[in-house]
Amino acid sequence: MKIALAQLNNIIGDFDGNLAKITDAVADATSAGAELVVFSELSICGYPPLDLLERKEFIHTCKQYIEKLATLADPATGVLVGGPEFNPNKGGKLLFNSAFFLYEGKVQQVFRKSLLPTYDIFDEYRYFEPNRLFSILEFKNRKLAVTICEDLWDEQPFENEFSRSRLYASNPLEELAAFGPDVIINMAASPYSHRKMEVKQSIFTGKAARYKLPVLYCNQVGAQTELIFEGGSMAINPSGHVAAKLPFFREGILISDLDELIASEPSLSLGKIPGRIESMADALICGIKDYFGKLGFRTATLGLSGGIDSAVTLALAAEALGPENLHVLLLPSQYSSDHSVNDSVQMAQNLGIKYNILPIESLFNEFRETLQVLFKGLPEDIAEENIQARIRATLLMALSNKFGNILLNTSNKSETAVGYGTLYGDMSGGLSVLGDVYKTDVYLLAQYLNQEREVIPVNIINKPPSAELKPDQKDIDSLPPYEVLDQILEAYIEKQLPLAKAEEMGFEPKLVSRIIKLVNMNEYKRYQTPPILRISSKAFGIGRRLPLVARY
C-alpha cells in the first residue's frame, strides 16, 4: 500500500484556494500510485483559525468544502483531511478537531483529536472537546492508527522548571495500539522553534521504536501571521529511523510504500537536522514572504541605520521579497557617524536596493525649539533621544502611506525584552522580523548571510552596537554585554527560571535582578509592538501572556 504525505502551505479561510491545492495534490499523488493521501491538521480551513471557529457559518463552510473535496477526488483514492466538526453530543464544547476519511465520493469515517494543548501559543480547549472514543481505520487490508498532532506528544520535555515526564494523563496511542495497527499516521500543524527541531523529530522516532510500527508524520508548512511551520514531513521505519523526509519550508509530496518502509534499513543521513542558524534564516525568510504574500502586500521599507539589526532585517527581506520590492531610508542625525551612513549606502548598493538619505537634524532642532517653553533649563535626556526615533518613524510611515511600502520593524529580542526601544519610534512597523531573535544570534545570522558574498558590510558586523541618539553612545553604556544579557534573558523568558536559579548560573545577583525588573516593567511596550515572527519556544506575543498592571 502506497501512502502520500501532502505538505501544503494553506491560507486560513481561503476555502477555494485550499481546496484547489488539496485536489491538485490528490491528483498528483494518485498519478504517482498513491492509494491514500494524508494532509495536515485543519487543512481544509488552515491552521490556526482561532476565533473564526466561534462562527457557525465558518464551520458550515468547512463541512461543505470537505464534502465537495470528497466528490472531486478520485473515488478510488482515500483521503485524510483535517477540519473542525460540530460536536453531535449535547454536552461539552461545540466542536471537535477532526480528521475526515474520504473515499468513494463521501466521508466514510471521522477521527477526533484527544489531546488539546493549552500551553504557549496553543489554546485548543477554548474551542474543542477532547475525543474519548478510539477507533482504527481499516483500508486496503491495513489497519491505520490516525492521530492528530498533539496525540503523539503525551510525553515531551519542557525547558522550564515545571517539566514533567508526562504532560497528559491519557495516552491516545496506547489506546490505538490495542487495535493492532500496521502504521501510525500523524496529521500535524506543529510550529517551528529553532531549539526544538531535534526534540520534535525524536518524539516521532521514539514512538516508532517503542511500538515497533512505522510512523507517517504530515506537517503543515508556511507562515500564518507570526507562526511559522517548517514542514519536514517524514516517514519513519519501525526501528525508529527516518526513511524519507520532505524539505523544510517548502511544499511537497512524499509517497511511501508501507511494505518497503517496514523493511527499510536505518539511514542516519536522512534524519540529519539543518544547522540552527541556517534553519532560523529560512524560517524568517518564510515568515516575511508569507506575511506579505497572504495579505496581498508587495513592497517594504525600513530605516537603514548602519547597525546590525537593520542590516540583517534588510538582507532577509531582500531574499524574501526581492531587492526590487524594497525602498529604504537612511535617516542620519548630528549624532550619526559617517561610517554608519557609508556602510548603509554600501549595503543598499550590494543588494541593488533603492535608497534615499533624509537627514533629520533640522527637524530635530525644530522640535527642540518648539519644546523650549516646556524644557527650558532642563538637561537633554531620553526625551530628546526618543524624539529622534519618532521623527524617523514619521518619515518612514510617510513613505509607507504614500507608496504602500510596509514598514518592517528591526528591533531584536534582547532590546525588546529590556525596553531598549522607543514606542511609536523604532518599535513601529507592520511586522517585527527580529523580535524573537536575541542579539547574539543576530550576529550569527549576519555571518551566515555573508557566507557566499559580502551582503552585509563587515564594518557593520564588527563595530560596537549603538543607537546613536547622543554623542559617543554605546549599548554597553546602558546594558551588560549581549553575551551576558542574552543568557540571563533566555533563562528567565524561555526557561522561566526564578531569580535564585538564574543567579546560580554565575551572574552577579544585582545584575540578574535588574535585568528581570527591566523585562517585567516593559511589558506595556511589548503589548503595543507589531506581530513578531516566532522562532523560539517562548516569543513575545500570543504565546506569552502577562498582566500589564502587576507588582510581581
pLDDT per residue as tens digits for the range 319-352? 999 999 999 999 999 887 778 899 999 999 999 9
The mean predicted confidence, pLDDT, of the chain is 93
Residue 162 pLDDT greater than 80, yes or no: no
**Which of 301, 308, 350, 349 has the alpha carbon at shortest distance from 329?**
301
Phi-psi region of 346 (alpha: psi -120 to 50; beta: other; left: phi over 0): alpha
User: 261: domain range?
Assistant: 2-109+188-271
Clarify whether residues 221 and 289 are in a common domain.
no
Bigger pLDDT: 95 vs 464? 95
Is 113 considered catalytic here?
Answer: yes
pTM of the model: 0.94
Clarify whether residues 343 and 229 are in a common domain.
no
Clarify whether residues 419 and 444 are in a common domain.
yes
Cell of 63: 463541512
The helix-helix angle for 308-321 and 338-351 (nearest 10°) equals: 10
Rounded distance between C-alpha atoms, residue 33 and residue 27, angstroms? 10
Clarify whether residues 410 and 467 are in a common domain.
yes
Clarify whether residues 290 and 249 are in a common domain.
no
CATH of the domain at 244: 3.60.110.10
pLDDT per residue as tens digits for the range 231-261? 999 999 999 999 999 999 999 999 999 999 9
Residue 462 pLDDT greater than 80, yes or no: yes
Inside any domain, residue 178: no
Tell me whether strands 215-219 and 234-236 are parallel, antiparallel or unpaired. antiparallel
Query: Which of the residues 2, 21, 113, 294 is marked catalytic?
Result: 113
CA geometry: angle at 98 spanning 46 and 219, to 5°? 50
**Which of 125, 94, 100, 127 has the alpha carbon at shortest distance from 112?**
100
Is 149 considered catalytic here?
Answer: yes
Tell me whether strands 78-86 and 36-38 are parallel, antiparallel or unpaired. parallel
Clarify whether residues 253 and 306 are in a common domain.
no
Clarify whether residues 399 and 517 are in a common domain.
yes
Q: What is the three-class DSSP state of 415?
A: helix
pLDDT per residue as tens digits for the range 360-371? 999 999 999 999
Residue 477 pLDDT greater than 80, yes or no: no
Query: Which of the residues 35, 62, 124, 149 is marked catalytic?
Result: 149
Residue 160 pLDDT greater than 60, yes or no: no
Residue 301 pLDDT greater than 60, yes or no: yes
Inside any domain, residue 165: no
Query: Which of the residues 35, 41, 159, 468 is marked catalytic?
Result: 41
Inside any domain, residue 133: no
pLDDT band at 552 (very low <50, low <70, confident <90, very high): confident
Total domains present in the chain = 2
CATH of the domain at 406: 3.40.50.620
Q: What is the three-class DSSP state of 48?
A: coil
Inside any domain, residue 169: no
Average pLDDT over residues 214-243: 97
* Cα–Cα distance list, 81 to 40, 73, 257 (Å): 7, 12, 20
Clarify whether residues 455 and 519 are in a common domain.
yes
